[in-house]
A = this chain, B = another copy of it.
Amino acid sequence: MTDVAIVGASGYTARELIQLLVRHPGARVRMATSRQDEAPRLDTLHPSLTGRIDLACEPFDPDRVASAASVAFLALPHGASMAATPGLRARGVRVIDLSADYRLNDPRVYADWYDHEHTDPAGLEEAVYGLPELYREAIPPAGLIANPGCYTSTAILALAPLVARDVIERSGIIIDAKSGVSGAGRSPKLTTHYPECNESLSAYGVGRHRHTPEIEQVLGDIGRSSGGGEPVEVIFTPHLVPMDRGILATIYAEPKGPASEHDLMDLYRSYYEDSPFVRVVGRLPATKDSAFSNFCDLTVRVVRGRILVIACLDNLIKGAAGVAVQNFNLMTGHPETTALL
């Protein structure tokens, strides 16, 4: 049994994490923290947790976390995570960080996209990128996991086989991605006010969404490890869709040579043979079929010589809390699927 702490318990990701962990036979949520003064109970913050967990938040204190838990899940905004992490690592707490703070290897790239300096370069060095389908070997011993972004996981799982096997051109890859509204977090604002975004669809952050460098970094790594040195360059267009959960990415890539759907499907099936949460499917996947699950569903098509990959997952589960638990399973020696099927 591993005692865990939830640092930053008020958002949707924390709620999903706790919901998964109360079902986990090898984890016990011993502490939750919140910056809110009144030390709210978890079931006050999240009424759905009533009857599932009996715990009140406390302010963040690394000594208290270290005395209560050996693994901490950080569900904090970026910036706050890298302020909290060094103290936890110094006390031996293993950290699974769900923010963006440890995802980008290069602190200058971080500073460019997040508009402030990175304050924990040592943590950056230590961090392992927590996408189990790609880094299953590196995760078990890790002390600090950078849990991937939701769009990022979708795009990488969809493109990794093509890049790894050097099937496609590495520039001009188009990622047209669509997300449910929970991806925007729990702070009310006009763009996510119900009468504004319900019954509406729009693109946002065109050309400047912060998951762009993350996608390019990881795909670049995959490409390098399989021989090719060119960087990967994507055109990433996120859209806001009137639904709670789910990301679907429709990806267009140019093959280096002739491509057949049949061969590509075989490639995907073999690439993900040992990945229980990637379902390579013949049908066109719908977000609903992977909602509330840790699955990523994907398929491949060839249209007029262009390769299309269509992939989807639940942004709060496989895109955040679920993959965090998957990482936790790998780190603590549980079967990868524990509490996730």
Given A248-B239, A292-B292, A186 contacting B193 (CB threshold 8 A): yes
* B286 near A202: Cβ-Cβ < 8 Å: yes
Partner of A252, one of B188, B235, B276, B290: B235
Interface residues of A in 277-336 (CB under 8 A from B): 277, 279, 281, 283-293, 295, 297, 301, 303-304, 306, 308, 310, 312
At the interface with chain B, which of A68-76, A85-93, A127-135, A170-178? Answer: A170-178
As for how many copies of this chain the complex holds, the number is 4
A22 CB–B CB distance under 8 Å: yes
Contact B176 A250 (CB under 8 A): yes
Interface check A109, CB cutoff 8 A: no
For window 183-230 of A, CB contacts with B under 8 Å fall at 186-190, 192-204, 206-207
- What is the bound-complex CA distance between A252 and B172, given in angstroms? 10
Q: How far is the CA of A244 from the CA of B292 in the complex (A)?
A: 14
Task: Tell me, in angstroms, the Cα distance from A289 to B291 when the chains sit together.
Answer: 17
Judge whether B250 and A291 touch: CB under 8 Å: no
Q: Are A286 and B176 in contact (CB under 8 A)?
A: no
CB of B199 within 8 A of CB of A288, answer yes
Chain B's closest residue to A302 (CB) is: B207
CB closest residue in chain B, given A245: B199
CB distance from A217 to the nearest CB of B (A): 16
Cβ-based interface call for A241 (8 A): yes
Cα distance A204–B308 in the bound complex, in angstroms: 13
* A165 CB within 8 Å of chain B: no
**B281 and A195 contact, CB distance less than 8 A:** no
- The answer to whether B195 and A192 have CB atoms under 8 Å apart is yes
Q: Are B281 and A47 in contact, CB atoms less than 8 angstroms apart? A: yes
Known: A47-B283, A248-B201. A12 touches B195 (CB 8 A): yes
Q: Are B237 and A50 in contact (CB-based, < 8 A)?
A: no
Complex contact B192–A186 (CB within 8 A): no
A265–chain B nearest beta-carbon distance, Å: 14
Query: Quick check: B341 and A52 within 8 Å, CB to CB?
Result: yes
Q: Which of B182, B198, B283 contacts A181 (CB 8 A)?
A: B198
User: How far, in angstroms, from A285 to B47 measured CA to CA in the complex?
Assistant: 9
A51 touching B279, Cβ below 8 Å: yes
Q: In the complex, what distance in Å separates the CA atom of A130 from the CA atom of B283?
A: 36
Would you call A306 and B172 a contact (CB within 8 A)? Answer: yes
**When the two chains form their complex, are residues A288 and B196 in contact, meaning their CB atoms are under 8 A apart?**
yes
20 additional A-B residue pairs with CB within 8 Å, beyond A200-B246, A235-B308: A22-B341, A48-B288, A48-B290, A50-B297, A174-B174, A176-B250, A178-B178, A180-B199, A188-B193, A193-B194, A194-B194, A199-B243, A199-B246, A199-B291, A200-B291, A204-B284, A206-B284, A233-B304, A237-B303, A292-B292
Top 6 closest pairs, chain A to chain B, by CB = A200-B288, A202-B286, A188-B188, A207-B303, A176-B176, A47-B289
